[in-house]
């Protein structure tokens, strides 16, 4: 009996130890940056990549990301991929260090930004999972050659791909409901196959799904069919193809023709009003504004109720008062006038009869 208890206790201890080791081994080093060490840390090694999480302690999304961020740090440390080993994860508490938040225009939490050589390179917009983070880092830093395939991408995915300094991306913007798309689709795949094992990569974007990117950010006009744009990561520029598309003309444009028509890549469209940015940065002010607004609405509602009650009471009492006034006013007028006349009569009578009364008294006294 005692041996069985001893074995059970030993087994429980082994399980707890294994869980402890696993939990401890699932987290890597995440640097905590502040106002004093931020600039010196990210500029200390120009070749080092810092993937920084800007967060706030009260943010629910930030709390859920904490475990994933530590797990990612551990996987990057243990990885044999060179560009993964060169990435250092870090975090900044924006509530405690608002000067850093203002300097880098952090408007929401969490915000995830890549820094290279002490400068921000790109921001991460995708799903916050370890595989997605690693795919993002691959897109930005991988030096692998093209596989000859065409990737179907979204704006968020394109944003990271075109930041890779080792690659040039040729992107076909199309309308999935247009009959012209099928005509160019096979030619575009052939073009990607011809550029296998080069630094020329290929992708396509459905403008029905990414309307804001096509119409507002890049102003792509699909009236005459699909449009082709080259994004060069080395200088962060873009060039739009203007000729009749064919495999030969596009290949010539990719090789050298795009150089003379390069323009700056427009930034993502920001539709959030400034006041919402301010309220997002100051949650306590947001709560105060909402509270004051609710109090004001309640006050207006109560004032309207009180005014309606007063008007109802006045409507009921005014007719009765008017009838009373009509009944009492004539009598009052009559009484006043009669009293005034009565006073005059009394006064006149008393003045006239006073001498006669004196004569009668004198006569009566003489007779006596």
CA distances from 240 to 160, 161, 225 (A): 19, 17, 14
In degrees and rounded to multiples of 5, residue 116 shows phi and psi of -130, 130
Angle at 148 between CA 146 and CA 151, to 5 degrees: 90
Name the helix (H) or strand (E) containing 240.
strand 237-240
Catalytically annotated residue among 12, 62, 294, 298: 62
End-to-end CA distance of the chain: 155
68 with 28: CB under 8 angstroms? no
DSSP 316: H
59 to 54, 84, 97, 111, 281: CA distances (angstroms): 11, 28, 15, 11, 11
Tell me the backbone φ, ψ of residue 128, rounded to 5 degrees. Answer: -95, 70
| Catalytic position from the list 12, 59, 207, 214 | 59
The reply to whether 214 belongs to the active site is: no
- Beta strands (DSSP E) in 83-186 are 87-93, 111-116, 119-124, 150-152, 168-174
Which value, to the nearest 10 degrees, does the dihedral of the CA atoms of residues 130, 40, 103, 64 take?
20
Q: Judge whether 62 counts as a catalytic residue.
A: yes
Alpha-carbon gap, residue 201 to 364, rounded angstroms: 151
3-state helix, strand, coil in the chain (%, to 5): 55, 15, 30
Active site positions, annotated: 59, 62
């Amino acid at each position: 009996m005692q041996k069985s208890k001893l074995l059970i206790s030993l087994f429980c201890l082994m399980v707890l130890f294994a869980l402890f080791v696993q939990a401890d081994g699932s987290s890597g080093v995440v640097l905590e940056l502040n106002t004093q060490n931020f600039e010196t840390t990210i500029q200390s090694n120009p070749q080092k990549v810092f993937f920084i999480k800007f967060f706030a302690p009260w943010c629910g999304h930030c709390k859920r990301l904490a475990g994933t961020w530590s797990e990612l740090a551990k996987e990057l440390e243990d990885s044999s991929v060179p560009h993964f080993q060169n990435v250092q994860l870090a975090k900044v508490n924006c509530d405690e260090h608002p000067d850093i938040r203002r300097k880098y225009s952090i408007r929401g939490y969490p915000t995830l930004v890549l820094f290279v050589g002490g400068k921000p390179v790109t921001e991460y917009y995708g799903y916050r999972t370890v595989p997605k983070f690693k795919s993002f880092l691959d897109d930005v830093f991988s030096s692998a050659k093209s596989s000859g395939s065409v990737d179907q991408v979204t704006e968020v995915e394109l944003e990271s791909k075109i930041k890779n300094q080792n690659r040039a991306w040729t992107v076909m913007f199309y309308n999935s409901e247009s009959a012209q798309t099928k005509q160019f689709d096979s030619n575009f795949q052939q073009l990607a196959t011809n550029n296998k094992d080069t630094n020329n990569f290929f992708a396509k974007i459905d403008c029905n799904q990414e309307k804001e990117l096509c119409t507002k950010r890049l102003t792509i006009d699909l009236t005459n069919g699909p449009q082709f744009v080259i994004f060069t990561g080395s200088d962060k520029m873009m060039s739009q193809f203007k000729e009749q598309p064919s495999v030969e003309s596009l290949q010539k444009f990719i090789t050298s023709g795009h150089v003379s028509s390069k323009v700056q890549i427009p930034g993502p469209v920001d539709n959030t009003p400034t006041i919402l940015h301010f309220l997002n940065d100051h949650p306590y002010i947001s709560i105060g504004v909402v509270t004051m607004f609710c109090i004001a609405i309640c006050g207006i509602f109560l004032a309207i109720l009180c005014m309606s009650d007063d008007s109802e009471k006045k409507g009921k009492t005014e007719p009765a008062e008017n009838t009373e006034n009509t009944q009492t006013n004539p009598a009052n007028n009559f009484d006043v006038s009669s009293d005034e006349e009565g006073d005059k009569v009394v006064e006149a009578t008393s003045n006239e009869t006073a001498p006669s009364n004196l004569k009668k008294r004198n006569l009566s006294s003489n007779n006596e």
